[in-house]
Structure 1
Amino acid sequence: MSRAETSSRAEDSSRTEEASRIEEARRANPLWTLGLFRSELLTTFRRWRTLALLGVLAAVPVLVGIAVKIETGDGSTAGGPGGGGPAFISQITNNGLFLVFTALAATLPFFLPMAVGVVAGDALAGEANAGTLRYLLVAPAGRSRLLLTKYATVLAFCLAATLVVAVSALAVGALLFPLGDLTTISGTRIGFGEGLVRALLIAFVVAASLIGVAALGLFVSTLTNSGIAAMATTVGLLTTVQILDQIPQLSALHPYFFSHYWLSFADLMREPVHWEDLTRNLGLQALYAAVFGSAAWARFTAKDITA
């Protein structure tokens, strides 16, 4: 055997061994593990701040339901003579299920995104401020895996927060108002069972409408080591975007703001369902998640967490 052949075989063997080591490392440290996700869920939902946010969200339907009950006690219409107020509020007295839709419409512009912004903004910055971030990475969690797990945890909070509002509203609506068949925006009648299914679907759409906010908050969380600064910045950006979305002179930019199609979930109460704005909303949220998720990954993987 020639020296060249021996060298070639040795090189091939070295490459094979290196590939085996990379594969073993990948299997030993996968991008996703259920154990880390479960740990992050328990940590997040055991915090008093998280429980307080969920408590505030649960209280909103209670306050709306009691206010409508008091206002309509003399036979007047909810929302005043002009029927103002959140969407569906004038139908609550006829069917308590409409309190679910009204509560989601009332909390989506501010309370829900604010709660998500607080949790997302604190996800990494809070760990850095507490000095636990470096220990999480030594665990070994890995930066990409930890970032993915943090984002999944924030998305779980989005769903939990939305369901808390919906369940609270359903319970209050059943206690204070009659339940039964309901009339859609298009004027058709649907059964109570189908109404419940649509309410659940609307809750999922509302939760999905927050994935862009979650990615934005996570990106902001990678920019600072102060949890309070990250939370305040995220909430400030949310408020600014919604203010800009109300300025007529910026109408050309409105369709690109992540909050512009938030209330499109009302189209699920039409017969047939209007999907155009719903799909635009979900597509826009996916775009924001991709952009700010990529920015968060680029920032976090290059960040010096030992400083």
Structure 2
Amino acid sequence: MSLFIVRRLLLAIPALFGLVLLTFILIHAVPGDPAAVLAGDQATPQQIQALREHYGFDRPILEQFIRYVSQLASGSLGVSYMTQRQISTEIIERMPATFELTLFAMTLATAIGIPLGVISAYFHNRWLDHVLRIISIGGLAIASFWLAIMLQFTFSMELDLLPVHGRLSQGLTPPPFVTGMIVIDSLMAGRLDLFRDAFAHLILPGFALAVAPLATIMRFTRAAVLSTLRREYVFYERAVGYPRLVLMGKYVLRNSLVTPVTQIGLLLGAILGSAVVIEAIFDWPGLGSYAVLSIATADYQATLAVVLIVGCVYALINILVDLVHAAVDPRILEQL
């Protein structure tokens, strides 16, 4: 097991290097002068040129890339061009907000998607199965940014039931920092008023982010359960008189979980990318909104750092998925 984890971590290094290289090339291929953005509209050509020389924008791209990789090798993500702060500090400040949002969305998607997928398979080709399949197709077809705007318009502006943006209402002070996730920290501090307010702020962006993965999990769970139901041992257990519900819960579901778990792991990485749009719409102060701000201000160092962090998280999630597979199906340990 330990050898497997070490091997996967070593294999992740060239993948992350390729990710950084590709992102670096794409960023520099975009038209625009970051020095001019940093200098502002009133800057003189001399001031803009001075900034180019200060940050090394006037040097060949290969030399800039080598300098950046050397900087990463020294353990530094660099300094933000716009804020002049350490990028690692800014990411650490914003990361808990993104984790809170994505974990809530994936918990919601998993808690609803797996049961609905099982129900859809249980009532295969009946009216309930058809309804759930239509819902899953609709969940995949709806654009997350459009859904987010419609949720804001309906539940915040028209019905005034839920807050429209941010993590806490104005005038409220966050609880003492423990995890950085306000919902958890407020419970640990015994502040139920903060918990209710933070949870209310989490509902709309979390639901908007959860719809697409929920539909995906539901479809893969349905397919996996249907495949397991066609196995010979299932027919045998039906023949000896096992109740259908006991059979589904004790044997079929466990042997069907490997495929949904794989998708959940992949979706966790994808959902970090979707969070960029959702965080921007709901003014959620996480990595997504930080990435949007970095791109808008041509802050190359910050943009590359966000891409690298997301890539690292994605690689770690894939390793965790393999370990969960082993917990669900011990036979996988022999392959690891």
- Provide TM-score, normalisation by structure 1: 0.30
TM normalised by structure 2 equals 0.28
Q: Which has the higher contact order (CA 8 A, sep 6+)?
A: 2
